[in-house]
């Protein structure tokens, strides 16, 4: 018998109609009862909180992180499933992954349709997540959705409503769940976990600022005035902005506020190719490039670096370590994992 703990946090998978729209209200036991449990798996449910995931905060994520560590303190537990709303699932999963050193997996899943939908996807996604949590090892935190297993790092919500909601725009799934088993591709190496922050750690403000035509430094300055301790620039193209924004970034970094650069483009890495306000100038101003991380996960990387760095010390090196931990690309021979075609 394999022992899996489900940590319930709300989201669409726990949502019902409220008269004007859907909202999370169901307990984890109700979500679990909506579908089958894999044979040989025993499940215990922890109701941590119940919110629509668009309302998730750093406080929620710290609570979840410590709940995961508390559950894994029990050697009888073989894995964890976290049911979570899809809006910010990629952020919470990556946050947990950055602090996760245990060989036992933490599997995030959710649903695109509410719990009481006749054609819902909650039961199937939860079944696949339970199977992955019961049989996987050395995975870190992963996302299981629509029969695919993705590493938390790099995976984003790619469609607002479609059942195949998640994917890695620059990589392939780690595995597929089909016919009652998980088929794995080549595993990706994982970076060392960050030190666990206290449950009551202060919540540093980290803002994302998107560049666009006519973009200027106003929002950079506003974020700093609001007390931001870290900034993410979502640049155009390969991470480009304007000379005015570069000047504001230089001042922020000089003032001890780390800055990371991502891109608003759906796929591809940021790269120091252009001057005139481009990534070449942003790097010279002290910003760090986020590789293939999209803006929301770049923000999580910066948030985690701040939480893992004692107050008064430079979080820049911690951020560099997190951003440098790029996963090894999977071979194209493993494309069957992405399109469902067998060997």
Residue ranges and CATH numbers for the domains of the chain are 2-184 (3.40.50.1170), 206-324 (3.40.50.40)
> 211 falls in which pLDDT band (50, 70, 90)?
very high
Q: Please indicate if the annotation marks 87 as binding a ligand.
A: yes
pLDDT value of position 169: 95
pLDDT value of position 310: 86
User: Beta partners for 15?
Assistant: 24
Q: Which helix (H) or strand (E) holds 303?
A: helix 295-308
Residue 164 has pLDDT above 50, yes or no: yes
Q: Cα 77 vs. chain centroid, distance in angstroms?
A: 23
Look at strands 2-10 and 206-210 and give their pairing.
unpaired
pLDDT value of position 189: 80
CA dist 265 → 7, 71, 168, 236 (Å): 33, 38, 13, 7
Mean pLDDT of 150-162: 97
How many angstroms separate the CA atoms of 265 and 148, rounded? 24
Q: Please indicate if the annotation marks 275 as binding a ligand.
A: no
Nearest to 58 by CA among 197, 209, 224: 197
Q: What is the DSSP string of 15-35?
A: EEE-SSSEEE---HHHHHHTS
Instruction: Read off the pLDDT of residues 245-275 as tens digits, 9 standing for 90 and up.
Output: 999 999 999 999 999 999 999 999 999 999 9
| Mean pLDDT, the chain, whole residue set | 93
Instruction: Read off the pLDDT of residues 85-130 as tens digits, 9 standing for 90 and up.
Output: 999 999 999 999 999 999 999 999 999 999 989 999 999 999 999 9
Residue 334 has pLDDT above 80, yes or no: no
Percent of the chain with pLDDT over 70: 95
How many angstroms separate the CA atoms of 207 and 269, rounded? 20
> Which member of 12, 88, 236, 241 is catalytic?
12
- Confirm whether 318 is a catalytic residue: no
**Using CB atoms within 10 A of its CB, is residue 35 exposed (0-12), middle (13-18) or buried (19+)?**
middle
Q: Which helix (H) or strand (E) holds 63?
A: helix 58-72
pLDDT value of position 184: 93
Residues 173 and 144: beta-carbon distance below 8 Å: no
Indicate the pTM of the whole model: 0.94
Q: What is the 3-state secondary structure (H, E, C) of 176-229?
A: EEECCEEEECCCCCCCCCCCCCCCCCCCCCEEEEECCCCCCCHHHHHHHHCCCC
pLDDT value of position 312: 73
Instruction: Read off the pLDDT of residues 125-153 as tens digits, 9 standing for 90 and up.
Output: 999 999 999 999 999 999 999 999 999 99
Instruction: Read off the pLDDT of residues 16-44 as tens digits, 9 standing for 90 and up.
Output: 999 999 999 999 999 999 999 999 999 99
Nearest to 80 by CA among 9, 130, 155, 23: 130
How many angstroms separate the CA atoms of 33 and 67, rounded? 22
> Which member of 83, 86, 135, 263 is catalytic?
86
> 331 falls in which pLDDT band (50, 70, 90)?
very low
pLDDT value of position 327: 53
Mean pLDDT of 319-329: 77
pLDDT value of position 335: 39
User: Beta partners for 42?
Assistant: 3
Residues 139 and 185: beta-carbon distance below 8 Å: no
Instruction: Read off the pLDDT of residues 191-210 as tens digits, 9 standing for 90 and up.
Output: 899 999 999 999 999 999 99
Q: Cα 103 vs. chain centroid, distance in angstroms?
A: 19
DSSP annotation of 65: H
55-56-60-66 Cα dihedral, nearest 10 degrees: 160
Nearest to 98 by CA among 232, 195, 194, 197: 194
Handedness of CA 116, 119, 121, 126 (dihedral sign): positive
Q: Please indicate if the annotation marks 168 as binding a ligand.
A: no
Instruction: Read off the pLDDT of residues 278-293 as tens digits, 9 standing for 90 and up.
Output: 999 999 999 999 999 9
pLDDT value of position 313: 85
- Confirm whether 135 is a catalytic residue: no
């Amino acid at each position: 018998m394999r022992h899996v703990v489900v940590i319930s946090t709300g989201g669409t998978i726990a949502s019902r109609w409220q008269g004007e729209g859907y909202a999370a209200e169901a307990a984890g036991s109700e979500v679990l009862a909506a579908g089958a449990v894999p044979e040989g798996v025993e499940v215990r449910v922890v109701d941590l909180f119940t919110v629509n995931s668009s309302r998730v905060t750093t406080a929620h994520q710290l609570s979840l992180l410590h709940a995961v560590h508390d559950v894994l303190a029990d050697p009888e537990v073989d894995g964890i499933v976290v049911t979570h709303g899809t809006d910010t699932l990629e952020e919470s999963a990556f946050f947990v992954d950055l602090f996760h050193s245990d060989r036992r997996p933490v599997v995030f899943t959710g649903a695109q349709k509410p719990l009481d939908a006749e054609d819902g996807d909650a039961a199937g996604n939860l079944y696949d997540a339970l199977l992955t949590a019961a049989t996987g090892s050395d995975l870190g935190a992963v996302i299981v959705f629509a029969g695919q297993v993705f590493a938390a790092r790099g995976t984003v919500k790619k469609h607002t409503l479609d059942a195949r909601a998640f994917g890695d725009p620059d990589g392939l799934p780690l595995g597929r769940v089909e016919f009652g088993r998980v088929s794995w591709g080549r595993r990706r190496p994982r970076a060392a976990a960050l030190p666990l922050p206290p449950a009551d750690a202060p919540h540093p403000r980290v803002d994302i600022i998107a560049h666009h035509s006519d973009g200027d430094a106003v929002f950079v300055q506003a974020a700093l005035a609001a007390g931001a301790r870290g900034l993410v620039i979502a640049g155009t193209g390969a991470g480009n902005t304007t000379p005015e924004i570069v000047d504001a970034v230089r001042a922020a970094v000089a003032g001890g506020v780390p800055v990371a650069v991502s891109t608003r483009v759906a796929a591809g890495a940021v790269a120091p190719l252009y001057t005139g306000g481009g990534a070449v100038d942003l790097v010279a101003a002290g910003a760090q490039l986020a590789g293939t991380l999209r803006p929301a996960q770049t923000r999580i990387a910066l948030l985690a670096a701040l939480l893992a760095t004692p107050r008064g010390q430079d979080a820049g090196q911690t951020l560099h370590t997190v951003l440098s931990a790029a996963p090894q690309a999977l071979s194209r021979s493993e494309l069957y994992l992405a399109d469902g075609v067998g060997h």
